[in-house]
């Protein structure tokens, strides 16, 4: 609505001369605009005050760990792997890796680690356990949040933790256990014959292998069909039990497969009964 329109409407209501009415309408519009500007200015001042206060806040955030590697992993010789430990906090936390309750000093790393040199962080020497000395191939990435292990050996196995700290706290992570896996595939004989007395209870036991994790056993016939338990034959993990042995049991060849989940490998051995009749 324009000032002229306001003046005409006011003139009709007040029955005043148009000139006087025009002046009054102009003053009313100017007062409304000034009132709106005062509200806007007050709002701006409040926002500026909030921003100014926020910039002077003393932010203190003790460290916490938001992500880390699995609590248990199998490794094998010459394996390459990474362990991760992601902390948050303010000032930014520093990270130190620990193996078997001993810190891994930076002198053991293959690279020059990039660390956060924030002056607000406390001295590393105030927090370190006893140092771990070894010939491991260690290196770090991303301000030590990633521990790289290359060409693992039997000495690599152990319990790893990460220690994180800043001026307002220190935290040690839950353990990350690395366990060495192995599997012995050697066979003493390609075939083993077990003597069994006619009519008796007999069993075949697959030769145990040196394996970590524990081996997985599977029994099959020569035609690659699985041996299934029935009323006379019972398959129990690494052993086959045969009750009331008969002559035809000597004609059956059982094949035992021993497998390791980590290496996806297996060994194979054949077993057979030799039925002996006692008169």
pLDDT band, very low/low/confident/very high, at 119 (cuts 50, 70, 90) = very low
Q: What percent of the chain has pLDDT over 70?
A: 67
Check if the beta carbon of residue 150 is closer than 8 Å to that of residue 118.
Answer: no
Distance CA 72, CA 158 (A): 10
CA distance 79 to 74: 10
Burial class (CB in 10 A: 0-12, 13-18, 19+), 210: exposed
Residue 117: C-alpha distances to residues 59, 120, 122, 163, 200 (Å): 19, 9, 10, 16, 77
Span 217-271, pLDDT tens digits: 999 999 999 999 999 999 999 999 999 999 999 999 999 999 998 988 888 899 9
Q: What is the CA radius of gyration of the chain?
A: 41
| Separation of alpha carbons 205 and 212, rounded Å | 19
pLDDT at 113: 42
Q: Give the separation between CA 121 and CA 130, rounded to whole angstroms.
A: 21
Q: How far is CA 13 from CA 6, 8, 17, in A?
A: 11, 9, 11
Q: What is the pLDDT of residue 45?
A: 62
Residue range(s) occupied by CATH 2.60.40.10 in the chain: 61-180, 183-276
CA distances from 270 to 15, 33, 39, 175, 276 (A): 121, 100, 94, 43, 20
Q: Does domain 61-180 have CATH number 2.30.110.10?
A: no
Fold (CATH) for 183-276: Immunoglobulin-like (2.60.40)
């Amino acid at each position: 609505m324009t000032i002229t329109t306001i003046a005409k409407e006011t003139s009709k209501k007040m029955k005043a001369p148009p000139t006087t009415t025009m002046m009054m309408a102009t003053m009313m519009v100017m007062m409304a605009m000034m009132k709106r500007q005062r509200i806007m200015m007050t709002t701006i001042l409040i926002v500026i005050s909030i921003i100014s206060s926020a910039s002077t806040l003393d932010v203190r955030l003790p460290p916490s760990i938001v992500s880390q590697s699995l609590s248990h992993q199998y490794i094998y010789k010459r394996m390459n792997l990474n362990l991760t430990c992601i902390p948050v906090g303010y000032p930014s936390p520093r990270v130190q890796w620990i193996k078997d309750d001993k810190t891994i000093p930076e002198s053991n790393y293959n690279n020059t680690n990039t660390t956060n040199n924030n002056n607000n962080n406390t001295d590393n020497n105030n927090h370190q356990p006893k140092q771990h000395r070894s010939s491991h191939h260690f290196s770090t990435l991303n301000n030590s949040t990633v521990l790289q292990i290359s060409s693992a050996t039997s000495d690599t196995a152990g319990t790893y933790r990460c220690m994180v700290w800043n001026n307002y706290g220190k935290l040690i992570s839950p353990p990350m256990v690395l366990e060495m896996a192995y599997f012995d595939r050697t066979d003493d004989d390609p075939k083993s014959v077990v003597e069994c007395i006619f009519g008796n209870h007999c069993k075949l036991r697959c030769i145990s292998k040196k394996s970590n994790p524990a081996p997985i056993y599977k029994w099959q016939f020569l035609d690659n069909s699985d041996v299934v338990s029935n009323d006379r034959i019972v398959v129990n993990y690494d052993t086959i039990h045969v009750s009331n042995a008969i002559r035809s049991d000597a004609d059956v060849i059982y094949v035992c497969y021993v497998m390791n989940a980590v290496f996806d490998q297996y060994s194979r051995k054949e077993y057979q009964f030799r039925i002996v009749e006692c008169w």
